Amino acid sequence: MTNNIKKMNPSNSNTPIVISVTGLGYVGLPLALEFAKKYPVIGFDINAERVALMQQGIDPSKELDASAFEGCTIQFTTNAADLRQANFHIIGVPTDIDANKVPNLNPLLGASQSVGSALKKGDIVVYESTVYPGCTEEDCVPVLEAASGLQAGVDFQFGYSPERIVPGDKVRTLTNILKIVSGSTPETLDTIARVYGSIITAGLHRASSIQVAEAAKVIENTQRDINISLMNELAIIFDKMGIDTQEVIAAAGTKWNFHPYQPGLVGGHCISVDPFYLMHKAKQIGIEPQVIAAGRRVNDYIPSFIAKRIVQGLIEQDKNPGKSRVLVMGVTFKEDVADIRNSKVVDLVKELEDYSIAVDVVDPYGSPSELLTHYGIRLQEQPVPGAYDSVVLAVGHQVYRAMRPADFEQLAHNQLYLFDIKGVLEASEFDNYWRL
């Protein structure tokens, strides 16, 4: 990594571009490193511990190995003043919801303030964070103007290019996922497309407006949320009827136009969050969403449903839930990643504890300090052999998929009752087995 950064102005397509990336998480860091193979890059984040690791060539999110940092012209910094060295600014900070499930724009507006304080005439700002249609122009750009004293569309330009990073996916990575781009003017769009097109091999889709690009991103995950909620509701119905949902899906999947979505815990920072952004905007314009809201209710109910099913299983074994010990295997929001943001396994653990069940949690990827700080969950280093009245396979990490029935059985106190939420194991290999 080198730090040879020169000041340039992107308003002239013939002048070299210097890029800044604000927010170096799952979205920003891969983007910054990919651009840094072709351009000088300023990587800015307010988390000093994370920046210190990146300066050593370490990805705090554990998604990239050390080789990803090689051959990059990049300066990692926590000093917003360093952003003045760039002329093409990208903002990719997380967008979450608050306790009332209302969009929390504070990180996004804070990042806009930092970038705005460094803006110069001729600069371009591109947002990648997931938002509702209109957020870039109505909420973010005014912050840029106030912080810079410059006028949008006159002194600087802006655009929106939604992130499509899939944590844990080693096949569909940044450069081979088609990128949506949009800009405040046709000329700005040309520049944004030229910059992104220099690293994206899968091609670009030029949206006709920034709002179209914002809407496209938010409905990608809203659609998935609704489809999964249907499967979750079906799983609840079929479980009551004693029918195996996975067998139903396999049978229905023999028809060419059936889409085999899977039931499960819907957490993470995208699918379980983005629909609330769209619902928020809909309510602002006087529309009360029905289908989107129903999907969210179903998916948010699933941890409670599973907890009740586990309690029922314990009772069926003549065990007192209040005197039982349960092992939960996996707590990150999806398999083979370290990301714990909005993990619904956390909700499941809390639900079980509300039944006075003693819960041990293990996970080879989750950070013990983060889980304790953010959720009050103490991660066990290893499960205790022969200690558990029930074992819950909550996340399908590859290391768990590779376990044999005997590996699970040695964890159980007396007879094993395995709850395989992801349905990744072979049901016929277990005597007492349940899957969603």
Domains of the chain: 19-208 (3.40.50.720), 227-435 (3.40.50.720)
- Please tell me which residue, 12 or 191, carries the higher pLDDT value: 191
Residues 20 and 90 sit within 8 Å (Cβ to Cβ): yes
d(CA 310, CA 287): 39
The pair of three-digit structure tokens given for residue 190, joined into one six-digit string: 């040309």
Of 342, 336, 335, the closest CA to residue 272 belongs to: 342
Work out the average pLDDT over 164-176.
Answer: 85
Q: Is the pLDDT of residue 12 over 70?
A: no
pLDDT band at 169 (very low <50, low <70, confident <90, very high): confident
Q: How far is CA 277 from CA 88, 127, 168, 268, 304, in A?
A: 27, 16, 24, 15, 24
d(CA 10, CA 13): 6
Residue tagged active-site, from 72, 135, 140, 270: 270
State which amino acid sits at residue 9. N
d(CA 413, CA 314): 12
Q: How far is CA 292 from CA 135, 164, 266, 333, 395, in A?
A: 20, 21, 14, 21, 25
Predicted local confidence at residue 414, as pLDDT = 86
Work out the average pLDDT over 24-36.
Answer: 96
Predicted local confidence at residue 7, as pLDDT = 42
Q: Is the pLDDT of residue 8 over 80?
A: no
d(CA 88, CA 202): 22
State which amino acid sits at residue 125. V
The question of whether 135 is a catalytic residue gets the answer no
Q: Is the pLDDT of residue 2 over 60?
A: no
Q: Is the pLDDT of residue 9 over 80?
A: no
Predicted local confidence at residue 62, as pLDDT = 86
Of 119, 204, 103, 127, the closest CA to residue 154 belongs to: 119
| pLDDT tens digit sequence for 307-356 | 999 999 999 999 999 999 999 999 999 999 988 989 999 999 999 999 99
Q: Is the pLDDT of residue 399 over 90?
A: yes
- The per-residue pLDDT of the chain, averaged, comes to 94
Tell me the DSSP string of 151-173: -BTTTBEEEE------TT-SSS-
pLDDT band at 14 (very low <50, low <70, confident <90, very high): low
Q: Is the pLDDT of residue 6 over 80?
A: no
Of 136, 135, 130, the closest CA to residue 281 belongs to: 135
d(CA 426, CA 336): 20
Predicted local confidence at residue 5, as pLDDT = 45
Work out the average pLDDT over 411-415.
Answer: 91
Predicted local confidence at residue 11, as pLDDT = 52
